[in-house]
Structure 1
Amino acid sequence: MNAGAAAAVDCEALADDAWLLRLGREIDPAVNARVHALAARLRAQPPAWLRDLVPAYASLALFFDPAAVAADAARDWLLTQYANLGAGEVGSQDARDVEIPVIYGGAFGPDLESSAAELGLSPQALIERHSGALYTVAMIGFAPGFPYLSGLAPELALPRLATPRTEVAAGSVAIGGAQTGIYPRPGPGGWRLLGRTPLRLFDAGRAAPSLLQPGDRVRFRPIDAAEFARLEAAS
């Protein structure tokens, strides 16, 4: 990557111990791939002062130990690493393939039928289209373990509900705008609920609390009520 490309990014202070590197301003798979490639590069040989990295759709937050490194030095290191990011590194990092079982419709997906009607599809056609795609975890945010998944077919995009629900069940699989995602815990939400997975998206007691990580590839697998109950009991 040349110096001109590096100069095009913005690097702003988030706090006394954090920098935010903005690679773009829109949801763009190519930009998101660069974010994850840069995160992988930084994690491969992290300096002792690096505390955490938080990738998002088009930005990367870097948290550092201010007692061990000057803020300007941390920023300069981040910009240098981005400037040296090679084209061959983008998309080359290892990614996991994760299957998410989902029961669609009914009480598990109360917006399936209305969403299908709005899209001019049958509920079954929407299930097939939604579960037939390969998604990428673009970022984790909103709530611990909530995956924002890129890869939704543009023709399946749906506006958020005009009035959000005050309670959405944990594991709810939903569409919000041009994205799909999974609610990891009960709480409010305004996305269209298509179904639910019995898997626990976030468990603070696990070694890796978040089931999904940025960069993971995700496929949804339709299941029935019996399999949902069995998997839920085992989770």
Structure 2
Amino acid sequence: MTPDVRVAGVTALLATFDTLTDVVAFRAGLTAAALPGVTGVVSGARTLLLRFDPTATDAGRLRALLSDVEPVRPSDDRADRDPVVVPVTYDGADLDAVGALTGMTRGELVAWHTGQVWTSAFCGFAPGFSYLTGTAPSLDLPRRDTSRTAVPSGAVALAGEFSAVYPRTSPGGWQLIGRTEVPMWSLDRTPPALAPAGVRLRFVDAAARS
């Protein structure tokens, strides 16, 4: 992949990609490369914003180094082998509706959700809300026709190509398939977000662990 890289102010570059998959893979490659002078990376659905220390590098040098970054796919042997484990109770209000949309039984849906590694592609909507992409083929689920005014904290949900965990009670229109007690956002933790962009997760069936 060859991103379109442009200057974004005096201490940042903006790299634009064709797909979200490319963004995730390139960010993983950046982490592995540990480019000198880079002080922060912010992920978007099609972009990566790279902040740099102008006393350590400059836009021209950093742009040249980016051409040597080798993307890392989630299934690549170089990827982190110890994803964060999130136990889930699969009793969500939309579990049967999702089964009807996909033609899957409850058991098949749970097996699909737990049988893959998820990567936080980017964060948004609320502090700690991570848009997770999986290694298995996406179900590409539609959002609910009517959003809920209050989705409970810890609700595990699906929409489009993503899965997510609601970090706090908030409105939401995603399909709810379960719940977890693992906090996605905590000011007692550094960083507060459990799954900032680039972090890998694996959901496990809490009922199977008990």
1:61 is aligned to 2:39: no
Bigger proportion of residues as helix:
1
Q: 1:212 to 1:118 in 2, by over 3 A?
A: same
Q: Tell me if structure 2 keeps the 8 A contact 1:147–1:181.
A: yes
2:130 match: 147
1:80 is aligned to 2:68: no
- In structure 2, list runs of 5 or more residues that go unmatched: none
Q: 1:166 to 1:61 in 2, by over 3 A?
A: same
CA offset digits 1:62-116 (Å, max 9, x no partner): 2356xx56xxx743233122112246x77536464111100011xxx11111111
The one of 11, 20, 23 equivalent to 1:27 is: 20
Q: Count how many residue pairs are aligned between Structure 1 and Structure 2.
A: 205
What is the root-mean-square deviation of aligned Cα atoms in Å?
2.8
1:104 match: 90
- In structure 1, list runs of 5 or more residues that go unmatched: 228-235
Q: Distance in 2 between matches of 1:155 and 1:135?
A: 11
The one of 206, 213, 216 equivalent to 2:189 is: 206
1:195 match: 178
TM-score (norm 1): 0.74
Q: Tell me if structure 2 keeps the 8 A contact 1:173–1:180.
A: yes
Q: Distance in 1 between matches of 2:81 and 2:197?
A: 9
Q: Tell me if structure 2 keeps the 8 A contact 1:20–1:59.
A: yes
1:182 is aligned to 2:165: yes
Who wins on radius of gyration, i.e. which is larger? 1
Q: Tell me if structure 1 keeps the 8 A contact 2:94–2:176.
A: yes
1:115 is aligned to 2:98: yes
Identity %: 35
1:231 match: none
Q: Distance in 2 between matches of 1:115 and 1:102?
A: 16
Q: Tell me if structure 2 keeps the 8 A contact 1:95–1:215.
A: no
Task: Quote how far apart the aligned CAs of 1:33 are.
Answer: 0.8
Q: Tell me if structure 1 keeps the 8 A contact 2:5–2:63.
A: no
* Partner secondary structure for residue 143 of structure 1: coil
